[in-house]
Structure 1
């Protein structure tokens, strides 16, 4: 797998490139210590439409194959609906596509295995553009390691 950084946007040719992108990006200024690719729990699909909440710090994904909606990481606990008329923000690639492979990145606190920062890395399935659509700090622990299973 190789990431192409020669154009305006970084592009990957496979879903594994999302992890490399997140490691290079270091969302929140922290190194990415672990990654978990997203998979649909019903059909094992790997392509999703992604939405962010009104605060822009929670994410949910809908499987393109079976339409199962799943909140990512701890988003189900903190999702903000927004004011009247303002719904979730749909993530779209510069090419216009709304279909992505995604991977959750995790940074651990120094000296222990508790999660400090999470990020949602994406790769457009149409043109391979890589991005990070959301990242946020985890302010609780112990007990934050369960997030690795909620990508």
Structure 2
């Protein structure tokens, strides 16, 4: 197994074990920039429940899940930082689905590129339908 695959598996497990909102994570999508890079700085707000990636190579920004719809409500985003002080991560979004296959909860997990610690940094409930556009991003 490659190092990249092992790191993705560790990140996936950390998101699945978190089970945000008490729901099982049914699907995990990994962030990959259009330039092919898989490491990012991440800005987020836990109060408003938004997150976005900034590519460590080309600096392209991308909102995660439905964050683009809510960034205007954020007073000041925070840059994610690992307890080791590093601020570069592999990023994945976990989706808990309801019985109809609609997204009911999103969990954003990060795996530090320096020390390998992985965990969920922000999560939020989805209370609208349809949600297929969220899964299309994963």
Give, in whole Å, the separation in 1 of the partners of 2:119 and 2:7. 13
Whether 1:39 aligns to 2:32 is yes
CA distance in 2, matches of 1:40, 1:53: 21
How far does residue 44 in structure 1 lie from its aligned partner after superposition? 1.7
Please identify which structure carries the higher helix content: 2
Q: What is the TM-score of this pair, normalised by structure 1?
A: 0.82
Provide the C-alpha distance between the structure 1 equivalents of 2:48 and 2:128, rounded to a whole number of angstroms.
19
What is the RMSD of the two structures over their aligned residues, measured on CA atoms?
Answer: 1.5
Whether the 8 Å CA contact 1:74–1:150 is kept in 2: the answer is no
Q: What is the total number of aligned residue pairs between the two structures?
A: 133
User: Where in structure 2 are the equivalents of 1:111-150 lying within 5 Å?
Assistant: 111-141=99-129, 143-150=130-137
Task: State whether structure 2 residue 19 is matched by structure 1 residue 26.
Answer: yes
Match of 1:75 in 2: 67
Q: Is this contact kept in 2: 1:48–1:101, CA < 8 A?
A: yes
Contact 1:56 1:134 in 2 (8 A): no
* CA shift in 2, pair 1:23/1:64, >3 Å: same
CA distance in structure 2 between the partners assigned to 1:88 and 1:126 by the alignment: 23
Q: TM-score, normalised by structure 2?
A: 0.90
Instruction: After the TM superposition, list the runs of 4 or more consecutive aligned residues in structure 1 that deviate by more than 3 angstroms.
Output: none
